[in-house]
Structure 1
Amino acid sequence: MLSGVSEVLSSVVEDVSEAVNRNISGSQLLHELLSAPWLRALLKIYECLMQFQRLSPSPLLPCASGLLFEALLSSHDSVAQSDYLPVLSPLPDELPEDEEAMRIVCLVKNNQPLGATIRRDEVTGDIYIARVIHGGLADRSGLLHPGDLIVEVNGNSVVGLEPEKVIQILNSSIGTILFKVIPRSTQVTSSQKPVYMRAMVDYCPLQDSSIPCPDAGMAFIRGDLLEVVDQSDALWWQARKLPCGASFAGLIPSASMLRSKHKEQWCIKTRLNVVIFSQKHESTFFPSAGFRRSFRLWRRTSYRRRRQSCTSCSPSSSALSSPYEEVALYQRLPQENHRLIILIGASGVGVNELRKRLIKLNPSTFQGPVPHTTRPIKEGEQAGREYHFVTKELFEYMFCSIFRFVEYGESKSHLYGTSIDAIDEVVKRGRMCIIDVEPPGIHLLRLRNLKPYVIFIKAPSPETLRQTRRNARIITSYAVNRAFTEEDFLELEDTSQLIEAKYKQYFDNVVVNDDLQDACMQLCSIIQQAQNEPQWIPTDMNINTESRSK
């Protein structure tokens, strides 16, 4: 029989090798192989083997009577016919109510943290799992849960130990960590959906004495996009920074926790007699910014005073009210109005020049709002084209009673201002409205119908500033048109850094204006993306988010 099987297999090898080497089509090759006589023989061999596999072991002793190996074959038959599966005693009908089930959990430690924090019951001295970090080793195993009582770690009892001692045992463990735990009686399954938020303040866990585990904390700065995956704890949330660079989350203070921390810091600075302006003082200085074309002089000479107000307000009222801002992805539909484009930057960095170049480059697409003024109309001007010419009474009514101005100011005894209505008028005509305003004006423009996209025009390095502004002119309180001085360069760089530090949480993009032409082309590309690609915006501006939540 063995020789017959060998002959069949030899025929298979010969026929397949010959068929492959011949220049025939695939279908013809398949037909020849399926028609080969050895195929039927192989199928019969397969059927015999399967039939033999299904047979139960038969005793060999009756066939071996009188043989010398009778004892050996008798042992074989005994082993073959025995069942060696474990026999478990039945569970008792009634278990004691105070009986606690013990669970043994084995985790393989790698380079990343365990992903769980512990706490100690001050009364009993027991050590419990306080929280399991989302995406960490413990979370992925699904074997450790908040509230589980830890009895042993690698055979060492942890009952009565301080949490720091338990952490030392865990840190010194290499390879496998063996936990003996008593599971929490009722496991809480979390079905929270991720919530996306933008950080409006800075946070460093290493400087926070109240965080349960500094190593598990996650630092962030204003403007960072956070994916909050767990808000079950009232004080400490779990989140990841986007774009996601880590598989596991980190601890961050909840909104209420972080708000109280900033309020406490604000009160401490007040008690130390640090000059902190209230929101009333801040609003007195900031909105008085004016339109660049007619009162850039006023805007520049008053900026030093307003800058002092800016630095002294710490933290801002918005940070105290909401350290996080919930955001959602927004995709502008073709039939929707274009988003408002806001350019922000220090005076002298080239914001106004970039805005004018964009409008000149494509006037059918880009347009600026028509400002209001109380000065008389000049020869050659047309109402609604250069300015909206209004009376002083109407101007003051628009400012004081209905708050329609984004910014305003006075030049040569005449009032000038940029109104929200003028911006909305451009947007409704299907144009892309581009404006440059003082940073505090951003708050007034964060409206659902405008959905502003804020671009910060950043000052280049001091060396580049000196090189590119060598022949540029500047408007000051002493001269209408003069060259930049070294003091101007230092003030421009300082102001640019100050604006970025205080308002970067509102910036959607940053452009460094080291070359006017390159910066203009970069702006065009960024604006196209802002209008046509998904962008993160506050949820209260996103109509699609509201309709889905309903």
Structure 2
Amino acid sequence: MDSSAEHWDPALTRLLASLKEVQSGGEDVAFLSELLQSKQLHALVQVHNKIVAKGKDDKFYPILSNAMQVTLEVFELLHEVVTVSKEYGELLSLLQKPHFQAILCTHDAVAQKDYYPHLPDIPPELDDEEETVKIVQLVKSDEPLGATIKTDEETGKIVIARVMHGGAADRSGLIHAGDEVIEVNGISVENKTPADVLSILQSSEGTITFKLVPSFGKGGSRESKVRVRALFNYNSSEDPYIPCKEAGLDFKKGDVLHIVSQDDAYWWQARREGDRVMRAGLIPSRALQEGRIIHERQTDPQTLEGKPALCSSSNSNSDCGPKTPCSPTPTATALLPCKSTPKVKKVIYDITENDDFDREIIPTYEEVARLYPRPGMVRPIVLVGAPGVGRNELRRRLIATDPEKYVTPIPFTSRPPKASEQNGKDYMFVSREKMEQDIGYGKFIEHGEYKGNLYGTSEESVESIINSGRVCVLSPHWQALKMLRTPRLRPYIVFIRPPPLERLVETRTAANARSSFDKESSRAFTENEFSEMVRSSNRINFLYGYMFDDEIVNEDLAGALSQLLKVVWRVQSEPLWVPASWVQ
């Protein structure tokens, strides 16, 4: 900080001192620090303080509000002077300069507070039966105009169906949903269809002029601040029932979307978070997408085995009101230039899979907010995946990189200890009665029975690691996610996926990998086990994919571990999107 900082505004100085106390923050803190030390910001604060101070001091109020009138009177008096001197000539010349007179006029306008916009007077004799019409001109460019039109079912007239937030029509502030279209470029739209109007627009060049009857029943809607994570893929060009393909917003599973409008029950307006394009696009609403997925599952049972639901059927869309399931809406147009195989492995922590419950969860969007890393807040790392995919080996290798930092909870068991085992180191040995009681109280995030003995991981053991400031690393059965993914634990869940079947066989054979499906002997994976690994992975992703924060394809352990280390570093150092309830 240079010597000029001694004269800085005290508030800026205190803010900068507080910022330096932040232990971590990455680029955000560095940016704020540089901003607070900039001379430009300091100069702006000084100007602001002087303006505020002057506004509170009576002596800065204008003495006159008619300085120009006084000047004219002085000018007339000067003309009456008989003796002409040098000073007389200079004063006369100064009073006649246009820049000086403009300054005086501006002074009077400010003194009289005559700087607000003036609206024209309402005509005294306005026929109440006359229809108010507004003329709107927009310049045609490569950017869509950002509005859709439809035929009103009751009147048969062409009206504005919606205005896209941030688009050209929205920025003009002159076109609103519900406005009736009378003419486009001087051509009447009476008895025309939305497609006819679109044809007129496509053939237009330069300025496009709309004659509209304004809708007084609806005002402009305020932009929402809701952010959601998309839990499915969407391609508007493949959706036959979107009101306007050109207005659609494509996104992928995991993208964070800024929902700017939920006024329409079936089609929301959204932007991808971070996009520089301010014009919003259309996406299916939560209700519409849920209806599509339900319809897909009822008509195609394969979706229940992990096949993703398609965005190919629609309940309806609001431009024409609800229809029968999957019925298209022909009237909305854009204003554009606008088998399952038997299980092979007996898993220790395997619990009864509640497929009927899990498949009823229909993930579409999840409201999210940013969670900023801070001292004392450590998020557990949870690795989930199909049996045999290598998540336990990845957990062991991650812990081996820094055993003081990365820790896994000690499991509980009801079996007696072996001669070589220590209580509290290998297992937490408790009675079966005690463990059954704690399971009943919901104290275990996962539990199961193997060879007549209970095993499990307690929530308290996970919290103990988190409170110690270390990173808890877990590789639970996938159904434990329902107990783990809570605002108290705030886990970061990484899905460990196998590569495609051919590549899976190739890599595991080359690495001489031993099957984890057989606890009694050491042998290679069988062909059925490889197929089961892929099938199970797809099924896990279908049922629980909406909970995953990241995904790593375990093609080889070294590469997967490298990716995992990068993920863990990001979780500890960067602000990340989490369910909104976790930060409230």
User: Matches of residues 24-63 of structure 1 in structure 2 within 5 Å?
Assistant: 51=96
Range that drifts further, 502-511 or 258-267: 258-267
Picking from 409, 417, 429, the partner of 1:377 is: 417
In the alignment, structure 1 residue 539 sits paired with structure 2 residue 580: yes
SS in 2 for 1:473: coil
Match in the other structure for 2:568? 527
| TM-score scaled by length of structure 2 | 0.67
Q: Helix, strand or coil for the counterpart of 1:318?
A: coil
SS across alignment from 2:347: helix
- After superposition, residues 116-515 of structure 1 pair within 5 angstroms as 116-185=147-216, 188-205=219-236, 210-244=241-275, 246-268=277-299, 297-299=345-347, 316-319=359-362, 323-336=364-377, 338-399=378-439, 401-460=440-499, 462-463=502-503, 466-467=506-507, 469-470=509-510, 471-477=512-518, 480-515=521-556
* Cα displacement (A) at 1:351: 1.0
CA RMSD of aligned residues (A): 3.6
TM-score, normalized by length of structure 1?
Answer: 0.71
Unpaired segments ≥5 residues, structure 2: 1-88, 102-119, 307-342
Q: Once the 2 structures are TM-superposed, how far is the Cα of residue 503 of structure 1 from its aligned partner?
A: 3.5
Distance 2:572 2:278 in 1: 31
Alpha-carbon spacing, 1:274–1:136, altered in 2? closer, same or farther (3 Å)? closer
- Paired AA for residue 540 in structure 1: S
Q: Partner letter of residue 453 of structure 2?
A: H
Q: Distance in 2 between matches of 1:301 and 1:492?
A: 17
SS in 1 for 2:209: strand
Change (3 A) 1:384 1:300: closer
Confirm or deny: 8 A CA contact 1:407 1:417 kept in the other structure. Answer: yes
**Aligned letter for 1:446?**
R
Q: Secondary structure at the match of 2:435?
A: helix
> Tell me, what secondary structure is at the counterpart of 1:483?
coil
The answer to whether the Cα contact below 8 Å between 1:266 and 1:314 also exists between their aligned partners in 2 is no
**TM-superposition CA deviations, 1:515-544 (whole Å, max 9, x none):** 3233323322221210221010001111xx
**Whole-angstrom distance in 1 between the partners of 2:289 and 2:506:** 42
Deviation by residue 1:151-186 (Cα, 9 ceiling, x = unmatched): 101111112322222222223333332211122225
Contact 2:258–2:270 (CA<8 Å) still a contact in 1? yes
Once residues 153 and 216 of structure 1 are traced to their aligned partners in structure 2, the CA distance between those partners, rounded to angstroms, is 20
Return closer, same or farther for 1:433/1:90 CA change in 2, 3 Å cut-off: closer
SS of the residue 1:317 aligns to: coil
Q: Match of 1:97, SS? A: coil
Aligned residue type for 1:328: A
For structure 1, the 5+ residue unaligned runs are 1-43, 57-88, 277-288, 290-295
Distance 1:502 1:488 in 2: 21
Alpha-carbon deviations, 1:15-59, whole Å to 9, x = none?
xxxxxxxxxxxxxxxxxxxxxxxxxxxxx99x9799576899xxx
Secondary structure of the equivalent of 1:256?
helix
- Corresponding letter in the other structure for 2:463: D
Summarize deviations over 1:171-224 as a string: whole Å, max 9, x none.
333333221112222551322332101123444545656543344233444433
CA-to-aligned-CA distance 1:264-301 (integer Å, 9 cap, x gap): 4445568x99999xxxxxxxxxxxx9xxxxxx951299
Shift of 1:435: 0.3
Counterpart amino acid of residue 244 in structure 1: D
Distance (whole Å) between structure 2 residues aligned to residue 274 and residue 138 of structure 1: 43
Aligned identity (percent) is: 39
- The structural deviation recorded for 1:117 is 0.9
Alignment check: 8 A CA contact 1:223 1:504 kept: no
Distance change in 2, residues 1:269/1:396 (3 Å)? farther
Contact between 1:224 and 1:505, CA under 8 Å: does it hold in 2?
A: no
How far has the Cα of 1:511 moved from its partner?
2.3
Q: Distance in 1 between matches of 2:410 and 2:238?
A: 49
Question: What is the CA–CA distance in structure 1 between the aligned matches of 2:159 and 2:474, rounded to whole Å?
Answer: 57
The letter for the 1-side match of 2:137 is C
Give deviations 1:411-456, integer Å, cap 9, x for gaps. Answer: 2222212222222222122221000123332222111121110112
Distance 1:255 1:275, change over 3 A: closer
Q: Which amino acid in 2 is paired with 1:398?
A: D
SS of aligned partner of 1:396 = helix
**Bigger Rg over Cα:** 1
- C-alpha separation between the residues in 2 aligned to 1:412 and 1:156? 83
How many pairs align? 440
- Secondary structure of the corresponding residue to residue 530 of structure 1: helix
